[in-house]
Copies of this chain bind each other. A is one copy, B any other.
Amino acid sequence: MSHRIIGSSRPRVDGVAKVTGAARYTDDLVLPRMLHGRILRSPHAHARIVSIDLGAARAIPGVHAAIVGEDLPVAYGILPWTEDEYPLAIGRALYVGDGVAAVAAVDERTAIAACEAIRVDYEPLPAVLTPEDALAHPELKVHESNKDGNVSKKVDLAFGDVEENLARADVVVEGEFHFESTTHAAIEPHCAIADFDARGRLTVWSTTQVPHYLHRALAKVLGLPEDRIRVVQPTIGGAFGGKSEPFDLEFCAAKLAMIAGRPVKIRYTREEVFYAHRGRHPMKMRFRTGATRDGKLLAVDSKILIDGGAHSSFGLVTTYYSGQLLGAPYELPAYRFRSTRVFTNKPACGPKRGHGSVQPRFAIECQLDEIASQLGVDPIELRRRNAIGPDATTINGQRIGSNGILRCLEEVERASGWKEKHRKLPRGRGVGIAASTYISGTAYPIYPNDMPQSSVVVKLDRSGQVLVTSGVSEIGQGVETMLAYVAAEELGCELEAIRVITGDTELCPVDLGAYSSRVTFMAGTAAIEAARKLRGMLVEAAAAALECDAAQVELDGGKVYARSQPDRVLSFVEVARLAETRFGTLVTSGGYRTRKVGGDYRGGTIGASPAYSFTAHVAEVSVDELTGLVRVEDIWVAHDCGKALHPINVMGQMEGSAYMGFGEALFESHAFHADGLHRGPSLLDYKLPTTLDVPDLHALIVEANEPGGPYGGKEVGEGPLHPSIPAIANAIFDAVGIRLRALPFSPDRVRAALRGQGGT
């Protein structure tokens, strides 16, 4: 099927605004009479709040409101089953950085002074700062009402007979992997502005990637009907999962605005961003993997201890994802995972690009490399032999449609010159391979309902202007461009005729937000449905005017004609007018609902997705054995996105993912001192790779058309991150023969491993 716009790489619809500085981020917004809010945070990892005296703060001229936890006594949480957060601590502060009070004042300086004037009487309590400690001390409960000590969630699932298969394996590798916590480090700190008008309507502008869930949470916590609340997401400066749940500042800004009768803005300092966190969970992962002597996998057994921090966040899902998303891209005859997420007195972990599955993917892909090495099989060949096919069902019941994993392996093998490099480069230089799969959204919404997961409304009027609205969240991934593409493709108009509005709960129909790599798959499908309904009206009107059969009508880049009579051309705007004359106001809607199979949603399990993407990486590294410095020279990323609707955008996602994985592999560490204090909550201390550090990234698009996807498309935003870390680890092994099983691959760690000389 040929497309006019889909598959081309036009400038992004939000591109000019972003590069010219015209885009307005939340903190750019200034409302008349706006106050500035600030949250006072606990210096203790765990403490009883004996009392809070707001008197001195309130007495400062220019301070308009001050609140404590008891002013917002309703619990919330992104998952309805684990609502364990309050906007401000009630009774106890649970980690260093936990908010205990908030103020609103005429300016930031006064708000800071007010926070300094608040007198909090803390009674420090013993804190649990590692998951082991937290499990060892169930009496030191982070959450008093939690049933099972400090266990946040436990999942124990087995498919096939793991022990029997391991027993008959020719080779079994076993190891303990440690994945350090990392955080999103979006350039834009979280910011929220709340305005509560005299009619009792609350508007919250926020750096959220889930306007719909924030809408619901605000209603719940503030006790307002949902119809009185509007959430608007301005342009966002990076999210990566770090803005995909409600945060304290949104509720505090709202409550302060309601008290003060004036708009209130709260913007996190960079330090606060680290306390808000919700980044990658640290995981301790014991993996055992067995295979036959010809490299066919027989079983994977894993036991994973997950450090959740002080709140549940998406942790229930994280715990499932730590195992459920490992069923591909290899056929596993037997598989077991036993994952336990534990509460600790640290900032809560949550979803970061590749939620829950980046960590175990590191473990399993390293073990495949070990097996290949032990068996003397080429590690790409090993992966090829085990590749699960398209139209397959994984051992844990997930149904795979399209599957381009073999082509991904082929692409990175070819492009990287693998055959000339693997085991053939001089010592200190090596190549490594890893592969993975990821979801394209989840079968289930976050709260149970049977409504569309995504909705798109398309309006066209006699100006020829097309307005596409959807509650979906543009976080830089390009969803606005994608929606414009779909509309222009289906309606046959110029891209310039399309206007897109997203992330506004008043103007847009509901979409659940930007998470789980659901956006293009779901909102794209909804947009196609909406646009095709409208297209039908245009075609009918054009056919009448052109006196031809509807099937003959061609809508082509602003021109409309019958294929049988290509000289008689109507303009798009003429046809729009004919259609409006014929049908009245032209507005249509489309939705995405997960297809049910046999009475249940496709796949059925948590982690089940309507479609799976596939990725392979080859990383080439050089290791300085004297300093332990690892330098990644190149990363070749092949990713099966089903269909690249916008190839440059797809490549950008692939490069961005590989960059982020690379950063986690070599640099990043969201770690804490023994007393619970963050080791470096600033971008000076938290090491991110700069442009000078970044390897050459080679994005290789693979298109294995997905029957249920928009134009065959599926996800690309998160999947390509997964193989980054194990590919680098495996390349380091190829270079200097050490197996690194803990992150980051810092000079210290590399030198220590080299001293042990090392690895399997």
Contact = CB atoms under 8 A, between A and B. Distances in A.
Interface of A: 13, 16-17, 20, 22, 32, 197-200, 215, 219, 225-230, 449-452, 455-457, 459, 461-467, 494, 496-497, 499, 501, 505-507, 509-510, 526, 573, 577, 580-581, 584-587, 589-591, 593
| A229, A462, A506, A585 — most chain B CB neighbours (10 Å) | A585
Contacts of A451: 462, 577, 580-581, 584
A459 B228 contact: no
Given A17-B197, A227-B496, A509-B587, 12 more contacts: A20-B198, A22-B197, A199-B496, A225-B497, A226-B463, A227-B465, A455-B585, A467-B506, A510-B585, A526-B585, A584-B590, A585-B590
A202 to B, nearest CB: 12
A501 B464 CA distance: 20
Contacts of A197: 16-17, 22
A507 B507 contact: yes
A17 to B, nearest CB: 7
Given A463-B226, A509-B459, A573-B226, A199 B16 contact: yes
Contacts of A586: 589
Given A215-B463, A450-B581, A451-B581, A589 B587 contact: yes
Nearest to A228: B496
Contacts of A506: 465, 467, 499
A354 to B, nearest CB: 30
Given A198-B16, A449-B577, A577-B449, A226 B465 contact: yes
Contacts of A497: 225, 227
Given A197-B16, A459-B457, A507-B507, A464 B587 contact: no
Contact of A591 (B22, B452, B584): B584
16 contacts: A22-B32, A199-B496, A225-B573, A227-B464, A227-B465, A227-B573, A229-B463, A230-B499, A451-B584, A452-B580, A456-B585, A457-B585, A463-B505, A499-B506, A526-B585, A584-B589
Contacts of A510: 461-463, 585
A585 B523 CA distance: 13
Contacts of A589: 584-587
Contacts of A459: 457, 509
Contacts of A507: 467, 501, 507
Q: How many copies does the complex hold?
A: 2
Contacts of A198: 16-17, 20, 22
B585 A452 contact: yes
Contacts of A573: 225-227
Nearest to A588: B587
A553 to B, nearest CB: 20
B464 A226 contact: yes
Contacts of A584: 451-452, 455, 589-591, 593
- Smallest CB-CB A-B distances: 4 pairs: A226-B463, A585-B589, A455-B585, A584-B591
A585 B200 contact: no
A678 B496 CA distance: 46
A449 to B, nearest CB: 7
Contacts of A20: 198
Contacts of A467: 506-507
Nearest to A216: B463
Contacts of A455: 461, 584-585
A721 to B, nearest CB: 31
A20 B200 CA distance: 13
A626 to B, nearest CB: 51
A227 to B, nearest CB: 4
Nearest to A576: B227
A451 B456 CA distance: 25
A319 to B, nearest CB: 28
Nearest to A584: B591
| A497, A506, A587 — most chain B CB neighbours (10 Å) | A587
Contacts of A457: 459, 585, 587
A540 to B, nearest CB: 16
A623 to B, nearest CB: 46
Contacts of A463: 215, 219, 226-227, 229, 505, 510
Nearest to A451: B580
Nearest to A591: B584
Contacts of A228: 496
| A461, A499, A526 — most chain B CB neighbours (10 Å) | A461
A509 B219 CA distance: 30
Nearest to A197: B22
Nearest to A529: B584
Contacts of A16: 197-199
Nearest to A572: B227
A513 B199 CA distance: 27
| A32, A199, A457 — most chain B CB neighbours (10 Å) | A199
A21 to B, nearest CB: 9
A511 to B, nearest CB: 10
Contact of A585 (B22, B225, B509): B509
Given A17-B197, A22-B198, A198-B16, A464 B585 contact: no
